[in-house]
Structure 1
C-alpha cells in the first residue's frame, strides 16, 4: 500500500459518521421477530434486461476513480468499455448528503456506510438486491453477508464493498506501558490529560458504549448501537468525564498525524491507514485493537428504488466487487476488500495481512457502524432505544 494514495481518499472517510437525524421509519409498519423494523414493501428484480448506456452513482472519494485524479488509478474506464454503461459519479462528503441525494431519485446506486444504510432502507429509498444477479457476490466474505447494516428480515439490500476497524493509537516513547484497553482513554485521572484525542462524531458514543458493555455488565448493553435511555445516559456520562482529558477531537486525518508526530497527541482513536502513514513519516506510533474490541465501518453498494438505470447499476455492483477491481479500491482507499479473491490481486502483497482481510477472529471483535434507531436492533422486543437524532444532540453537550 502507498499511504499517500490512500490519503487522497481519507477526507471522505473522515465524514462517514458525521450525520444528522435518523430517517423516519413511519412507513415501516412495525417490527420483525428479531426486533428490527419492517421496510416498505418492495421487490428485487428476478432478471436483468438490456443495459441503459449509463449509470449515476453517489460514492465516497476514491470509490469510483476514472483516472482524472491519477491516470494510473482508473477502474471506471474499463467498466465503461466492457459494459457500455457510462459512469457519472457524484462524490459525497457525508452520509447525510448521500441520504438526501438518494431521495431525489436522480441516482441509481450509492456506496452507503452503516450509519446511512438503515435510513435508506427504512425510507424506501434503497431497494432489495437480488444477489443472484451479482455473480461476484459468491466470493464476498461470509461475515459481511446478511448483516444488520445491509440486510433486514433476511433480505439483502446491498453488496458489501470493504471494511475497517477503529483502533487505539499511541506514542511508543510517551505511553508506557503499552495500552491494551480503551480504559486508557476513558480513565478519569489520566496522566495523559490534554494529550488524548477522540473521533469527532456522534457515532463515537458507541465507542463509550462498547467499553461499558465490557466493563459494566450490569448495564446490560448487548450492542453499542442499541442503547436504551439508561444505557445511553451512562455512555454520555463517560464521554463527558473523558472530555476533561481530551486535547483535541479529530476528523481531519492530517491534523491527527501532525499531532502524533509533534507529541501534542499521544493516545487516541485512529484507523489502520492513518497509523501506517504516521509510521511512514517516522512517527513512533503503534496501533492496536484493544481487548474490548472496537467499533468499525463497512460500506455497502445499494440500488435506488427509483433507479432509472437499474441494469447498469447491477453491472456496476458486480464490477466494483470483482477480485481485481475490489483489490484496487481497497489499496487506494486503505481498507480490507470484501471479495476474498481480491487478496491475490493486490499490488502490495501484504495488504490483506495488514488490514486483516481474512482474519475472521479479528472481525468478530469489531462492531460495525449501524444507524441507531428507536427499534432496538439487539433483539429486545419490549424496549425503546435512543435514535441517532438524540445522539447528535448529546454530542454537542458532550463537547461543551
Structure 2
C-alpha cells in the first residue's frame, strides 16, 4: 500500500530551479521558461537482448513478487518470460528516488510528479521510445505527454497510475455532509480537535486550491505557483487550521484507525484509506469536493545511465500490461494507467471506484508538481516560492 510517502524538503536542483511545470491534468508538456530544455540524451533506438537483470527504484507496493503476500505477484512471471531478474530498492520519498537515480546504479524508477522533472532536467533519465513499448498505445490519453512525463511532446516515461486526495468524513458525526474543503478550514468548526490533514509541505497546495476558488482576488491560477502574497495567504490559512487539527497523518494505517476510533472525523484522505476504513466497519464517506483536489500521477522512467536498458524497457512494458497494471492498481489502491486493465481486475468495480475511465473527474485534479521560483503558471514578472520555502513554512505551521 501507499506507505512512507511523506514528501520531504527539496534541495536546490540546478537547472530545474529555472524551469516550470504546468497546471492541472489537461496541459501537455513543453520546454521551460525561456526555451530551457533538458540535456540532449538519445533514446533507445531498438530493443535488443535482455541483460539478465534490471535494477528498480520504486514505491512500496509497486514491485511485488509474492514475498509480501503469496497471492500478490506480478514479478515472477515477468522474470521467467523475460529472463530479467528484478532487483528492487524501495524508496520512501521522492528526494530519495532522485538521489538513488543520480548514482547511476539503477535502471528504472517509479517517479512522482515532484521528482520526474528534476530527473529530466538533471539529465538523470532518458527520453523513452514508446514505439518499443507495445502496451503504451493502451494507456489513457489523459496521462500521456503531460508536464511531469514529457518535454516538447517527447515522452520521458510510461504512466503507471493516478489518484486524488479526497475529503473523508464520519457520516454519523459530520452533518450535514460536506461538499467543500471549507469544512476543514472553518475556524468555528464543531469538529475542532478531530480534523486531520496530510503531513507534508505539499499540503500547502491544498490550501492554495481552496483559496483559488474562494479568494479570487489573490489571483491564484495554479496551486503550485504562489508568489509572496499568495503564499502568505496559504500559510495563514493553514496556521489557523492548525488550531483545529487533532493530528496530521502520513501513515495510511494510522488514519484508518483514527477514523475507526472516532479520533478523526473529517479530513484529507486517499480512496484506498476510505475503502479500508469502510471494510473495518467505520461509517465513512470520501468525496471529491466542489473545488477539485490535488493528486498524484506516477511515471516509470529509464535512467540515462542504465546498464540494463533492454530489461528496463521490458519491465516498463510489463508493468503497464493489462494484467500486471490491474494487479498493482488493486494492491496499491489507485486507478490503473492502461485502459484494458479495467477488464482484468479481481474486483470488477475497481475502475469505477477509482474513476479510472472518468477523465472529467481527473480534469478536477491538480497533480503534484515541484514548486520553483520560476512560476509554474507562466508569470515572469514575479518570483514564486520554491519547495524549500514551502518546507520552512510547514515547520512554522505545525509549530
Pair 1:156 & 2:158 matched: no
> Which residue is 2:212 aligned to?
213
5+ residue gaps, structure 2, are: 21-29
Does the 8 Å contact 1:58/1:91 carry over to 2? yes
1:231 to 1:272, Cα distance in 2 relative to 1, 3 A:
same
The CA deviation string for residues 3-48 of structure 1, in whole angstroms up to 9 with x for no partner, is xxxxxx2314xx1x41221451338887766648522222212222
User: 1:229 & 1:155 partners in 2: Cα distance?
Assistant: 33
Please list, as runs of the form range in 1=range in 2, the aligned pairs for 1:61-72 lying within 5 A after superposition.
61-72=60-71
Which of these residues, 1, 10, 16, is aligned with residue 2 of structure 2? 10
Distance 1:256 1:160 in 2: 28
Judge conservation of contact 1:44–1:129 (CA < 8 Å) in 2.
Answer: yes
1:285-364 equivalent positions in 2, closer than 5 A? 285-364=284-363
Query: What CA distance in whole angstroms lies between the structure 2 residues aligned with 1:365 and 1:27?
Result: 26
Paired with 1:188 and 1:283, the residues of 2 have a C-alpha distance of: 26
Counterpart secondary structure, 1:248? strand
Shift of the 321–286 alpha-carbon distance from structure 1 to 2, 3 Å rule, reads same
Tell me the CA shift for residue 53 of structure 1: 1.1
Structure-2 change in CA distance of 1:315 and 1:380 (3 Å): same
TM-score, normalised to structure 2, is 0.94
Distance 1:199 1:69 in 2: 26
1:173 and 1:366 mapped to 2: Cα distance?
28
Moved more, 382-391 or 86-95: 382-391
CA distance in 2, matches of 1:322, 1:127: 21
Q: Secondary structure at the match of 2:325?
A: helix
> Does the CA-based 8 Å contact 1:22-1:372 persist in structure 2?
no
- Structure 2 residue 9 is the aligned partner of structure 1 residue 20: yes
Residues 197/37 of structure 1: CA separation in 2 closer, same or farther (3 Å cut): farther
> 1:93 aligns to what?
92
Work out the CA distance in 1 between the residues paired with 2:31 and 2:71: 49
Q: Which moved more, 1:41-50 or 1:187-196?
A: 41-50
Greater Cα offset, 135-144 or 369-378: 369-378
Note the C-alpha offset of 1:295. 0.4
Moved >4 Å (runs of 4+)? 27-34
CA contact (8 A) 1:47 1:133 kept: yes
In structure 2, C-alpha distance between the alignment counterparts of 1:89 and 1:26, rounded to whole Å: 29
The answer for the alignment partner of 2:55 in structure 1 is: 56
Q: Give the conservation status (yes or no) of the 8 Å contact 1:168–1:267.
A: yes
| CA displacement 1:352-373 (0-9 Å, x = unmatched) | 0111100111101111111112
The 5-angstrom pairing of residues 1-400 of structure 1 reads: 9-12=1-4, 15=5, 17-26=6-15, 35=33, 37-400=36-399
TM-score if structure 1 supplies the norm length?
0.94
Aligned to 1:11, the other structure's residue is in SS state: coil
In 2, Cα distance between equivalents of 1:113 and 1:30: 17
Residues 150 and 22 (structure 1 numbering): CA distance in 2 closer, same or farther, change over 3 Å?
Answer: farther
How far apart are the structure 1 equivalents of 2:173 and 2:78? 48
Q: 1:75 to 1:27 in 2, by over 3 A?
A: closer
Q: How many residue pairs align between the two structures?
A: 389
Q: CA RMSD in A?
A: 1.7
Q: Distance in 2 between matches of 1:104 and 1:30?
A: 23
Where in structure 1 are there 5+ consecutive unaligned residues? 1-8
CA contact (8 A) 1:39 1:124 kept: yes
Distance in 2 between residues matched to 1:339 and 1:22, nearest whole Å? 34
Verify the 8 A CA contact 2:18 2:32 in the aligned structure 1. no
Q: Is the 8 A contact 1:34 1:377 kept in 2?
A: no
Equivalent residues of 2:182, 2:210 under 8 A apart: yes
Q: What is the Cα deviation at residue 81 of structure 1?
A: 1.2
